[in-house]
Chain A
Amino acid sequence: MILVVLDHDGSKLRKASLEALTRARKLAEALGARVAGVLLAEGPAPVEEARGYVETLYVAEPGPYTAERWAAGVLEAAKGGARAVLAPSSRQSRAYLGRVAYALRAGLLEDTLDSWAEGGQVYATRYAYLNRVTQKVRSALPAVLTVKPNTTPLAEPLGGQGEAVALSLPPVPTLEVLERVQEEKRGVSLTEADVVVTGGRGLGGAEAFQKVEELALLLGGAVGATRAVVDAGWRPYAEQVGQTGKTVQPSLYIALGVSGAVQHLSGMNKSKFIVAVNKDPEAPIFKHADYGIVGDVHQVLPSLIQAVKRLKD
Chain B
Amino acid sequence: MKFVAVIRQVPDGESRLKVQGGRVDLSGATLILDQMDEYAVEEALRLKEKHGGEAIVVGFGPERTEEAIRTALAMGMDRGVHVVHEGYADPVAVAEALAPVLKEEVPTLVLTGGQQADWDSQALGAALAEALGVPVVAWTTALELEGETARAKHDLDEGAEWVRVPLPAVFTTQQGLNEPRYPTLPGIMRAKKKEIKKVAFQGTAKVEVLEESIQEKARLGKILDGKDPVAAAEELVRLLREEAKVI
Contacts and interface: CB of A to CB of B under 8 A. Distances in A.
Chain A interface residue bracket vs B: 35 or more
A295 B210 contact: no
Given A176-B163, A293-B223, A295-B225, A137 B207 contact: yes
Contacts of B107: none
Contact of A244 (B176, B226, B230): B176
Interface string B120-146: 111111110111011111110000000
Interface stretch (A90-98, A159-167, A203-211): A90-98
Interface residues of B, number: 87
Interface string B194-221: 0000000000101111111111110111
Interface of A: 66-68, 71, 90-92, 94-103, 105-111, 123, 126-140, 173-183, 185, 195, 219, 227, 231, 237-238, 243-244, 251-252, 262-263, 266, 269-270, 272-275, 277, 279, 281, 286-296, 299-300, 302-304, 306-308, 311
Contacts of B230: 303, 306-307
B174 A244 contact: yes
B217 A71 contact: no
28 contacts: A67-B138, A91-B155, A98-B91, A98-B123, A99-B126, A99-B130, A101-B92, A102-B130, A105-B204, A108-B127, A129-B17, A129-B24, A181-B153, A181-B159, A181-B162, A237-B160, A244-B115, A244-B175, A263-B175, A270-B217, A275-B240, A279-B226, A281-B223, A296-B226, A300-B229, A303-B229, A303-B232, A306-B233
A34 B203 CA distance: 31
Dominant SS among interface residues on chain B: mixed
Interface of B: 11, 13-14, 17, 19, 24, 90-92, 95-96, 114-115, 117-127, 129-131, 133-139, 151, 153, 155-166, 169, 174-176, 204, 206-217, 219-227, 229-230, 232-234, 236-237, 239-241, 244, 246-247
